Chains A and B, each alone.
Chain A
Amino acid sequence: MNQYNAYVLVVEDDKQIRNFICYSLDAEGFKHIAASSGQGALSVLIAEPVDLMLLDLGLPDFDGMELIRKVRQWSEMPIIVVSARDQDKEKAAALDLGADDYLTKPFSATELLARIRVALRHSARQNSGYRMQNVLQVGELQIDLDKRLIYVEGEETHVTPMEYNLLALFFKNIGKVLTTKQILKEIWGVGHGSDTQALRALMAGLRRKIEKNPAKPRYILTEIGVGYRLVDE
């Protein structure tokens, strides 16, 4: 699927912000349809072949979480949530429910479009044979999923099995924000739900092996209060 043919649903109740988003999408050549309420969004989702949803969490009539939960029952379409700065908890909860990414108001058109592109790319990969690929690369960082090896600037770098699992998880979800909760569940299993300290330590160890300066990471970025993301270049 060509990302420029993607059909984007914009769910936003503030008229100015909706206009701004729609204009930005227009300028970039995305087809789009707008809804100003949760109910309206549902009607559109049922009737139209939407490829990506941009969802404001502060809707007047509908809980954004409920909408995400409903959509996830039948569709894997990328969902990008838009939230105010003081809605961190909602943000993390939305990602846990299956939203792909988030934007904090106010955002710029550049930021918005970049996120949409990443999300569409990720979704396209899921549908194509990306998962079949054995060697994946971001910048100078390479992972060989068959041999379970990691290369930094072409050099094979030794990592522990846990660190490898963590990095592999990020490569499988390249560009996507993974919440702390999701990572814990994937790496340690359901039983270790809240041991974030172990994750911080594991992440610190991995970064010291793949990043030049762990406090200025190039590959795995920290999304404060939410989780981590492997950059998609």
Chain B
Amino acid sequence: MNLKSIAYRLAITLALLIAAFVIGYLFRTLGLPETNIVIVYLLTVLLTARFSHGYVFGFLASLFSAFAFNFFFTEPYFSLAINTPSYIITFIIMTIAALITSALTTHANRNAIKAREKEAETKALYTLTNRLTEAADISDIAGIATGAISEMMNCKAECLCFDRQGKPEPAEDLRAGYNIGAEFHDWPVHGREATLGIIRIPKDAVKTMNESQTRMLRAVIESIALAMDRFRSAEQQQKFNEDIAQERYRGNLLRAISHDLRTPLAGMMGTAEMLLNMTDKDDQRYPLMEGMHKDANWLHSLVENILSLTRLQDGKLALYKQEEAAEEVVGAAIRYISRRWPEYEISVNVPEELLLVPMDAKLIGQVLINLLDNAVKHTAPQDEINVSVAKDTDNNCAVFSVRDRGEGIADCDLPNIFQVFYTSRAKHADAQLGIGLGLAICEAAVKAHGGSIRAINPADGPGAEITFTIPLEVTNHESI
């Protein structure tokens, strides 16, 4: 409280007391009873408490009123002495009444002021939030924020925004009047994931801040953090959507091309085979045609794989799930491979009891074919290749496993073999074996079934083992 306001309040108190004396004197001249004068003084105390903002002046006014009444309006006049003892009771009651009146009024007064402050705060915050919603970008938000804070604190506030990497972004508000030597108080703006920026307020303004201003400042900073967070996540969402659209476009393009390549490739394969059949095996041209046939075959597999993979990754391939006998799917895959590679003997273990697994048989059949194909390519014909199926009762899933005693998987390849277009780094350049999609398709297909796939080099000997699981119970999540 400064001197000026004290003087102001003192003046009000004095003026009211003088007014009370004048009215009281008038009443006495007119011969009205003293009770009226008591009431006038009570009114004076009430008004003093109302207008002087504080307990002190109300209290002083109460005491002074009691004395003034005694001094001016009770016999003997202009003396603190009293003739009638009943006046003592009047004084005491008057003093108590005056004190209580003063206290209550002051209290009510303070509450009213607080309510007004709150309302103003709420209104200011509401306006700020509204404006923040309309902000076009982060620097706009910062501008609105500093504007609001500066206005509220009556100072020059600044805002420093951080970008996604946590580095300061040049903000307009730091352009002018930035005095290195000046002392500032920094308030961090915390977002959900990181600190989004700093609000910088001159030390002088911070020193004179009262409680309500501090509270308000906190609320404003919180609004800013929310606005920035919202803006950033909206930005991220948009980028994500764009990425997805681009990915989809790429997938569609790849699919369209693959689809159109398929028929001519089938024709080329047939024609090459036809030529092969027309040619004598000793003919020089035979190996040339054979190469042509093999390449066309390879291209065709690639095209088919691309089609399968893009469909799987897009979620466009609707799984046609049915309870299928695991042994039938395994048997069909082995038959397919045995037809292509008759020199390989593939052993198989299935449970004695029929194991029904909810799956898209065609797709899981393709997974097994891809895995076996891979095994055959990395294993000599005399070495063992084994397929096994077992029921894992603990995890309620079927476990399929393709194991070979071939060269195994290089350690550097193990973490990557399910990646699209990954072909072994450990391979020789002339070994054009991997299409780089077969295992990626396996992973996508198994994942589409809610299962998992992994590759290891077994500890008990050479070779590789790839194991995948298919849940036996279709959960709600999958059936969507």
Contact = CB atoms under 8 A, between A and B. Distances in A.
Contacts of A63: none
Contacts of A207: 327
A19 B269 CA distance: 12
B310 to A, nearest CB: 12
Interface in A192-233: 196-197, 200-201, 203-205, 207, 213-217, 221-225
Contact of B274 (A85, A109, A204, A217): A109
A55 to B, nearest CB: 16
B270 interface: yes
Given A16-B264, A215-B350, A222 B332 contact: yes
B330 interface: yes
Nearest to A196: B322
A70 B349 CA distance: 46
B335 interface: yes
A8 interface: no
A90 to B, nearest CB: 13
A204 B326 CA distance: 10
Contact of A214 (B327, B356, B387): B327
A66 interface: no
B328 A203 contact: yes
A116 to B, nearest CB: 15
Interface string B343-375: 000101110001010000110010000000000
Nearest to A223: B332
A213 B300 CA distance: 33
A180 B352 CA distance: 23
Interface string A69-94: 00000000000000011101000000
Given A200-B325, A200-B354, A204-B327, A16 B332 contact: no
Interface stretch (A21-29, A43-51, A125-133, A145-153): A21-29
Contacts of B387: 215
A39 interface: no
Interface in B257-300: 262-271, 273-274, 277, 297, 300
A106 B270 contact: yes
Contacts of B324: 200
Nearest to A213: B348
A17 interface: yes
Given A17-B267, A88-B362, A224-B328, A214 B350 contact: yes
Contacts of B361: 224-225
A23 B271 CA distance: 9
Nearest to B327: A215
A166 to B, nearest CB: 14
A201 B323 CA distance: 11
B332 A17 contact: no
Given A106-B300, A216-B334, A224-B328, A20 B354 contact: no
Interface string A84-126: 1110100000000000000001101100000000000000000
B304 interface: yes
Contacts of B434: none
A61 interface: no
A21 B274 CA distance: 9
B307 interface: yes
Contacts of A23: 274
A14 interface: yes
Contacts of B328: 200, 203, 222, 224
B325 A203 contact: yes
A24 B327 contact: no
A214 B334 CA distance: 12
A200 B329 CA distance: 11
A215 B327 CA distance: 5
A100 B325 CA distance: 24
Interface in A1-24: 14-17, 19-21, 23-24
Contacts of B271: 16, 19-20
B143 interface: no
Nearest to A85: B304
B147 interface: no
B331 interface: yes
A201 B267 contact: no
Given A106-B300, A203-B328, A20 B334 contact: no
Contact of B262 (A84, A109, A204): A84
B329 A224 contact: yes
Contacts of A221: 331-332, 335
22 contacts: A14-B263, A15-B267, A16-B264, A16-B266, A17-B266, A20-B267, A20-B270, A20-B271, A24-B274, A109-B273, A109-B277, A200-B324, A200-B354, A203-B328, A204-B327, A214-B327, A215-B349, A221-B331, A221-B332, A222-B329, A224-B328, A224-B329
Interface of A: 14-17, 19-21, 23-24, 27, 84-86, 88, 105-106, 108-109, 196-197, 200-201, 203-205, 207, 213-217, 221-225
